Structure formats: C-alpha cells, structure tokens
Amino acid sequence: MSAPQLSVLFFLQMFVILAACRLVGAAARRVGQPLVVGEMVAGVLLGPSLLGLLAPGAQAALFPPESLKVLFVTAQVGIGLYMFFVGIEFDVEVFRRQMRSAAAVSLAGMIVPFALGAALAPWLMQMPGLFGEQVRSHEAALFLGAAIAITAFPMLARIIYERGLAGTQLGTLSLAAGAMGDAVAWCVLAVVLASFGGGAVVAVKAIGGGVVFTVLMLTVGRLLLTRLGAAAERDGRLTPTMLSTCLMLLMLAAWATDAAGIHAVFGGFLLGVAMPRGLLTRELQRDLEPFTVVFLLPMFFTYSGLNTRLDMVNSLPLLGVALVVLAASCLGKFGACWAAARLTGSDNRLALAVGALMNARGMMELILLNIGLQKGIIQPPLFAMLVLMAVVTTLMASPVFELVYGRHARAEGKLRETPPVDD
C-alpha cells in the first residue's frame, strides 16, 4: 500500500477504534471492568474473532496486514508516553520503605513461574505441535516460565492510575514488583532467543543495556532533569522548547530500552520516575495526557485484541491442556506474589490485592508470545492457549481485585470510587 492509501485508511481505522472503545468501554464500566478491559475487548470484537467471522471482507478491508504496522508504531508511542506519566506518579519514597517487600514479591513472582515452567515443559514437549521442533528442553522451560511470569505492567499501571492508587502502599508495591519482574522476564526472553540462535550478544545487550540504562537514568539523568525542572519553575511555565526537550528525551529513552531488547515501556517509566516533581511534571501531564489517554492509548489495547485468535483452541484435549496452563499461571503468579507479600509483612487483604493485579498478563504477554511464534519457539496451538491464559487472567484482575480489596477499601474511604465512564 502507498503512504497516502495507508493514511486515508488510518483515519477510518481511528474513527472505528475510538467509537468501539467508547461503546465497549461504557459497557465494561457497567459490569465493573476498567476502561482498559473494554478497549481490549473492543479490539477482539474488531479482530478475526468477531468482525472477521461476521464480515470477513469488511474486516480485511479495514485492517489489512500492512496497516497494522502503522497502528503498532503509534500504539507504542502511546504506551511509551503513558508509562512516562505512570513513572511520574510513582512515589520513590514509598518505594524505598517497601523495597524489601517489593523485591520479595517480584522474586517470588519469578521463581515460582520458572519452576512451574520447568515442571510443565517436559509434559508439553511430549505433545506434538506445541513447541517448535528444534527447541531444546531448557529453552522450552525458560520460555514457558517467562510466559507465566510476565505481568501486564501497563495494564496494572492503568488500573492503579485510574483508581488513584499510584502513590499508595499498594500501588507502589505492585508497580515496583511489576516493573522488576517484567524487566527480568524480558531478559530471560533475551536469553532464550540468544540460546535459540540469536547469539549471546542478544542476552548481553538486554541485561547489560537494561542495567546501564536504569543506573544512568536514576543518577546522571535525574541530575540533569533537576535543572530542567528548575528552569520551568523559574519561567513559571512550560515553554514549547522545554516540552519538545522532554519529548525528545522520552523518544530517546524509549528507543534505548527498545533497542536493547527490553521493552520501550521501561524507558518511558524510568524517565518518569527520574523527573523532578513540580511545575514541570504538572504541566507535562496537562499538555500531553488528554491526547495520550483518549487517542493513543486505546490504540495500544485495541491492537492487542485485534491480534487475538481465540478459535485455535479447538479440541477437548487442547482445552484440557489450556486449563492446566491457566491454573499453573494463576498459581505461579497470584499465589506466589500473595505469599511473598504476606511473608514480608503485608496484611492479607493487601497481599491478595497485589496478587490479583500481578496476575494480569495483557498486552506484554501478547508481545512476548508473538516473538516466540515468529521465532518458531512455540507453534500456533500453544500460542492460542497462552493467549487464552493472557485474556482470562486479564479479565480476572479487576473483579478479583474488587472482591478481595476494592469493596473493603472503599467502605473505609481508602479507595476512589470506580470512576464513571466520563472520568
């Protein structure tokens, strides 16, 4: 397709996506799901699983494969920006006080999934057509472990942000544990890819690059950003040059983490964490958040739905395997995170809430699974099972959170009301 053809289509796609997200989002809110779940469901409805079944011609005309690349890129920009705001809301002080607990939760949320991955992999490898034929058993175990371990960091962030929890004990604990856990999961994926043919450099780049980036951003980066913050305070406003500078830094941070092989969301998040709080961050949020949240973000969550094919788990044995994978995933993430939070001093309700949030897989899982599928590590049926697991754990997160924590916390006035659709 030529560039002008792509751009005509993009306008139409965005109209359809925004309309679907508003409609399904309003419905999702009615049944107690957050807007973000509505956006993912809207994507599934617009994708091969519904629109593609009802009107395959229209679906193919509206979302031809090449146009999905443009949606993907703009969606990545949106999620990078969004994670920047999440980082800004992240309370470093609260985090310091909870470091031990956060480390324990994220550690447990990795060790148990990888143990389960190691236990399940030999069994799954006996079945034909799940893993790629050249995959060795340790690679299968690591990939499965990473798939179980991963958290929907952006979605977790969004639920926390929507509920006004970003600066609280619960919010900080979950965000920190989610970020650490996911960073490790991406590094493990890099190890698998390295072992599976990419060469050691893939793993070194991801792990080394991630560490170097984090350290630089939180030391030198933070220092330089303080000056920018001071300049904004002095001027009493955010000039276009300052805004442009911040956007440049964001692009650079997203590029650096993305190019290293961990995801662009970390670049955005860490830049946000490193920002000096004050007029600068308030004005940045004021200037950039509406467009990000209302226009760019729906693209990210809808995109993940657009690529979900639920029709591939199509026999009873496969469904059985899928259920085992699902159970193991919930046990490995929800169970392990709950236990770790309890053991490091959180009360039961808070620990359950952390487990519920950490258990959502969302888009990050889908990105990881797509890489696995592209590289031939997993095959379509296992891909579909893991997608199913991702969808179910994502849909579970909000109701379970509400059940174990939300209604109590709200009764005690510790939690913002579920915001209406229009908030």
Binding site for its own copies (CB under 8 A): 1-4, 6-8, 10-12, 14-15, 18-19, 21-22, 68-70, 72-74, 76-77, 80, 239-241, 243-245, 247-248, 251-252, 254-255, 258-259, 264, 287-288, 290-295, 367, 371, 374, 421-423
User: Cβ of residue 2: shortest distance to its own copies, in angstroms?
Assistant: 8
The smaller minimum CB distance to its own copies, of residues 81 and 124, is found at 81
User: Cβ of residue 71: shortest distance to its own copies, in angstroms?
Assistant: 9
What are the beta bridge partners of residue 378?
Answer: 131
The smaller minimum CB distance to its own copies, of residues 129 and 278, is found at 278
Which residue's entry shows tokens 């258990």?
359
User: Cβ of residue 280: shortest distance to its own copies, in angstroms?
Assistant: 14
Answer for the pair 39, 302: CB distance below 8 angstroms, yes or no. Answer: yes
User: Cβ of residue 153: shortest distance to its own copies, in angstroms?
Assistant: 17
Answer for the pair 120, 328: CB distance below 8 angstroms, yes or no. Answer: yes
User: Cβ of residue 306: shortest distance to its own copies, in angstroms?
Assistant: 12
Which residue's entry shows tokens 């000096």?
276
User: Cβ of residue 189: shortest distance to its own copies, in angstroms?
Assistant: 13
Q: Which two tokens stand for residue 423?
A: 């908030």
The smaller minimum CB distance to its own copies, of residues 45 and 337, is found at 45
The smaller minimum CB distance to its own copies, of residues 6 and 396, is found at 6
The smaller minimum CB distance to its own copies, of residues 1 and 223, is found at 1
Closest among 19, 37, 327 to 155, alpha carbons compared: 37
User: Cβ of residue 244: shortest distance to its own copies, in angstroms?
Assistant: 5
Within 13 Å, how many C-alpha atoms sit on residue 354's CB side? Answer: 34
Q: How far apart are CA 73 and CA 300, in angstroms?
A: 9
Instruction: Transcribe 245-301 into DSSP letters.
Output: HHHHHHHHHHHHHHHHTS-HHHHHHHHHHHSPPSHHHHHHHHHHHHHIIIIIHHHHH
User: Cβ of residue 48: shortest distance to its own copies, in angstroms?
Assistant: 17
The smaller minimum CB distance to its own copies, of residues 27 and 118, is found at 27
End-to-end CA distance of the chain: 38
Closest among 88, 82, 79 to 272, alpha carbons compared: 88
The smaller minimum CB distance to its own copies, of residues 20 and 341, is found at 20
What are the beta bridge partners of residue 131?
Answer: 378
Closest among 319, 96, 79, 98 to 218, alpha carbons compared: 96
The smaller minimum CB distance to its own copies, of residues 113 and 298, is found at 298
What amino acid occupies position 344?
T
CB atoms within 10 A of CB 324: 14
